[in-house]
Chain A
């Protein structure tokens, strides 16, 4: 009828992706671990973006959270402790067509990975960086992390973490060429979804600190936040993270913040009396290094050979 073949729509439907297409092996985190929520959200964001799984690469370092690639049905690279970002940058360097996600932890990113953290923010290659911050080393069983609050009891500091916690937001905001900084908690699904979605849509390195529950080793880190959501400051703005009323009902403390306002973002990040949620900073125009690093990919063999011959000729005698 109407001259259409009966299977006219098959091609389209064959490539419709369901959540299952993005899921890999069965996730093995502890019951109650916040990592599950982030994983499920990543699957949903990918499903809604309908990106082919083979075009997606999940890269990670080492830690509980860095197991994430194993639970994806996409390509993945479970790398070295602290070194997810250089690997991800390298993947992106000549393959700007790939959709790159990085899963890292507070130890993985802010401690052993501090160097790559700073420089990768500056490279601003197009990728989503999710830092699962449970304020503790989970995989290695309860050692102090840079974000462990002062006084937190850990196996390396049984009498209490001796120093004030590092503030990842001020550090990240302070890095030249930073382009996207957001913070979210793992236990509010709509906000988590919208935050990760916005991060994914941004062209550049989207840094998302996910405050993450580790009921096994750092219960006391998230529990007070869950019990007293008024400690959190929800950042609202038309250019910020879209949030529905359910989110606004939970986080009653709110502040209208324009994410293009870097000074305002710094002030919010520095104010440790409130834990900001939402988009602190967004600069869609910051230069993206993958544009430079992938230049020349289209050269033909003839052009390459001509260049090599010219180079050799410059040494000819």
Chain B
């Protein structure tokens, strides 16, 4: 690793310690909200990405909007998993934590974020707080943490910052960034550059003290913190790389897909995709419409699509619920449309900032009547980008709404991935305004595929009335009994036709074995990490990860038949088989499991939880290990 001149200058005169090589670490920075822990962690993640590491960053969002200071509910911060290999998920317990106060750690501990041996670097300012109550709380917490196996180091972080700035609340994060950069042997010049670009708009007067804090944190760690590691760059060269979260990837995908209209209503965790777009979309000729509610947002997007400009609406579960009638209309009227659902937990404001894969069944079946539609689920942040482009193409080719299901884990996770190279053919063709042969009906269904070309307002000869009433191929209201049957058949046939073009899923692991794990969406990284670890330990376990949920990818039944057991791992509710009252007949299965059971008639089992946080490899590993061990004991 080359150290720049800056680094050399900074460490000159300091003890020359050789860093210990590690292959990965999970780091957290936790504070009250507003103390900049997230900025600190994001910058740390970016520097790591630039240094060629694999990384996954995920924000720790406070449970309350205006939490009191020093409260567990206020825990705000960030987790960064850095490795010398590709990182696909947030991992299990943290290795090292920097905390701005001790109270916020309680909520992380309650979330199972730490293990025995997790190193905690804690600001010691509370030990000398003027309020006795705070001093006592602090002392009690430190004792308790140590009793529970955390390795707590009390450090004068505030005191050190006050040597440089008057208000340590603003700036402590950059001091901590400096500390982390020394601990993990990050490049100092990169750190300084990141600070300069982060504060570029605020000018030198802000950049300089922040860089000073950074330098001072770096030196402080060199002198006073024993931990000193290096994580080597990942050898696979990705080529040009970008670092985004999943919602930014969705926004970029919308731009690159050639869609020019996003109609939305704010809802966490979907909104940040629109925030991002609202900032840059106009440069590509696009527009974000903030509608009066989700129904209107869907209507607005459908209107734009009907008029020839395939549009997108971005929402989360409760918004999806409101949009259902519109979605049914889009299916029936065969209107191309892209709907992004960044899933969260629960109805209402159930678990607004938490993760759940709870909308698969409602997206599949939540509309009145029969409403066949395409549902795809990106499994990585990179796929969030590419799947929006795919979605517009499918929507237009199959004249149907296409639903892209992501979740809060993908939305807020940050990861480096190969920079996509935008293609002109991804963009939409100009709206066709040539004359339409008036002999061709508005729904000239191909009897084999159900597909039909679509007249666009402005096309002379194509005039038709799109209607939610049951209609003939000329879009005339039907009063006979056959029409509804026929038109439903054609709409359904489109899905089958699309399904025929899909490839079977790629199997991670052997083609046959004891256990096959099936997942979808954001859980892929965690599932594969757990499965691969079990395989390394000699277990016959494999996994597949479905990207197409409607239509389903082909050959599932055949693949399932090669495993003794098949189960899904999902983040949505299912009854545990051993729960009170539960029998094999009344058990409610996880959502994908329900779909797979119905479509394959295979006795697909499931393991799913709704703790509200992303699937972690350790949890999956434990459950799979338990099952595999039980299977072996049966033999």
Residues of chain A touching chain B, judged by Cβ–Cβ distance below 8 Å, are 24-25, 52-55, 57-59, 62, 69-70, 72-80, 83, 85-95, 97-98, 115-116, 118-119, 292-299, 301, 303-305, 307-312, 315-317
**Residues on the B chain within 8 Å of A317, using CB:** 46, 49-50, 241-243, 416
Asked if B296 and A119 sit within 8 Å, CB to CB, the answer is: yes
Q: A80-B325, A308-B252 in contact; A116/B292 too (CB < 8 A)?
A: yes
B469-491 CB contacts (< 8 Å) to partner A: 469, 476-477
Q: Which residues of B contact A (CB under 8 A)?
A: 46, 49-50, 240-244, 248, 252, 255-256, 258, 260-261, 263, 280, 282-287, 289, 291-293, 295-309, 311, 325-326, 329, 416, 419-420, 422, 424, 427, 431, 455, 457-469, 476-477
Chain B nearest Cβ from A158, distance in angstroms: 29
Q: How far, in angstroms, from A309 to B421 measured CA to CA in the complex? A: 8
From B285, B301, B311, B422, A296 is in contact (CB under 8 Å) with B285
Q: Which residue on chain A has the smallest CB distance to residue B325?
A: A80
Give the CA-CA distance A304 to B260 in the complex, in Å: 10
* A-B residue pairs in contact (CB < 8 Å), sample of 21: A53-B463, A54-B459, A78-B467, A85-B299, A87-B300, A90-B263, A90-B305, A91-B306, A93-B303, A115-B293, A293-B261, A293-B289, A295-B285, A296-B282, A296-B284, A296-B286, A305-B427, A308-B284, A308-B422, A309-B422, A317-B416
Contacts of B307 in A (CB 8 A): 57, 90-92, 94-95, 98
Q: Point out the residues of chain A lying under 8 angstroms from B476, CB to CB.
A: 25
Rank and list the top 6 A-B pairs by shortest CB-CB distance, nearest first.
A90-B303, A86-B299, A296-B285, A76-B465, A299-B285, A307-B283
Closest to A77 in B: B466
User: In whole angstroms, what is the CA distance A315 to B287 when docked?
Assistant: 21
Bound-state Cα–Cα, A301 to B265, Å: 29
Q: Which one of B295, B459, B476 has the highest number of Cβ atoms from chain A below 10 Å of its Cβ? A: B295
Contact of A297 with B260 at beta-carbon distance under 8 Å, contacts A80-B468, A91-B307 already known: yes
Report the Cα distance A98→B241, complex, angstroms. Answer: 43
Q: Pick the residue among B46, B283, B326 that contacts A83 (CB under 8 A).
A: B326
CA distance A70 to B244 in the complex (A): 48
Which of A77, A293, A305, A315 touches B306 (beta carbons < 8 Å)?
A77
Residue A78 contacts which of B298, B308, B427, B466 (CB distance < 8 angstroms)? B466
Quick one: closest B residue to A88, CB to CB?
A: B303
A311 touches B283 (CB 8 A): yes
What residues of chain A lie closer than 8 Å to B416, measured between beta carbons? 317
Q: Name the contact of A312 in the complex, choosing from B50, B296, B326, B420 (C-beta under 8 A).
A: B420
Q: Which residue of A lies closest to B309 (CB)?
A: A94
For the complex, what is the distance from the CA of A311 to the CA of B251, rounded to whole Å? 10
| The one of B287, B300, B304, B422 that contacts A292, using a Cβ cutoff of 8 Å | B287
Is there an interface contact between A73 and B422, defined as CB atoms closer than 8 Å?
A: no
Nearest chain A residue, comparing its CB with the CB of B52: A317
- Chain B residue contacts of A76, Cβ below 8 A: 463-467
Tell me, rounded to whole Å, the shortest Cβ–Cβ distance linking A51 to chain B.
12
Question: Are the C-beta atoms of B255 and A307 separated by less than 8 Å?
Answer: yes
* Residues in A neighbouring B461, C-beta threshold 8 A: 54
- Residue in B243, B311, B422 whose Cβ sees the most chain A Cβ within 10 Å: B422
Q: Which residues of A contact B289 (CB under 8 A)?
A: 93, 293
When the two chains form the complex, which single residue of A59, A74, A90, A307 contacts B300, counting CB atoms closer than 8 Å? A90
On whether the beta carbons of B457 and A93 are closer than 8 Å, the reply is no
Q: Which residues of chain A have C-beta atoms less than 8 A from B326's C-beta?
A: 80, 83
B263's nearest neighbour on chain A, judged by CB, is A90
Which of A55, A79, A295, A305 contacts B282 (CB under 8 A)?
A295
B281 CB → nearest A CB, Å: 8
The answer to whether B465 and A91 touch across the interface, beta carbons within 8 angstroms, is no
Q: How far is the CB of A65 from chain B (nearest CB, A)?
A: 15
**Contact between B280 and A80, CB atoms less than 8 A apart:** no
B160 to chain A, nearest CB (A): 29
Residues of B within 8 A of A298 (CB): 285
Bound-state CA distance A299–B242 (Å) is: 25
B457 x A57 contact (CB < 8 A):
yes
- For B455, give the chain A residue with the smallest CB separation: A75
Chain A residue nearest to B238 in the complex (CB):
A317
User: B464 to chain A: closest CB distance in Å?
Assistant: 7
Residues of chain B within 8 A (CB-CB) of A79 are: 299, 329, 468
Within the complex, what minimum Cβ distance (angstroms) separates B111 from chain A?
Answer: 29
> Are A55 and B300 in contact, with the CB atoms below 8 A?
no
**Known interface pairs A57-B307, A79-B299, A93-B303; A115-B292 also in contact (CB < 8 Å):** yes
User: Is the beta-carbon distance between B457 and A75 smaller than 8 angstroms?
Assistant: yes
A303, B285: Cβ atoms closer than 8 Å: yes
Q: Are A83 and B285 in contact (CB under 8 A)?
A: no
Complex: chain B residue closest to A81, CB-CB: B325
